[in-house]
Amino acid sequence: MTVKDLKAELEFYDDDAEVIFNFDDSSVEVDSWTEDKYGFHTVSIDVELEPTFMSEFRGDFRIELGVKGDKTE
């Protein structure tokens, strides 16, 4: 799924909903991460990610990310 496809998917949801990205893969090392004054994190990793699961959750839109091409599941 490309960024364009993901944006098109998100257009169907409420503008007030937050988009929550969840990434949990212990085999990927984080290059760097920062936290802003509101507690939001920005993470830099050197892998290509793709959505593995998308759903609405308590009024927000949840996207789970996995390593692109990783077929270990």
Answer with the residue of higher pLDDT: 70 or 6.
6
Task: Let me know: does 48 contact 65? Beta carbons within 8 Å.
Answer: no
What is the pLDDT at residue 59? Answer: 76
What is the pLDDT at residue 2? Answer: 65
pLDDT tens digits, one per residue of 10-26: 776 666 667 777 777 66
Answer with the residue of higher pLDDT: 68 or 1.
68
pTM above 0.75, yes or no: no
Phi, psi (5° rounding) for residue 66?
Answer: -135, 165
Confidence tier at 5 by pLDDT (50, 70, 90): confident
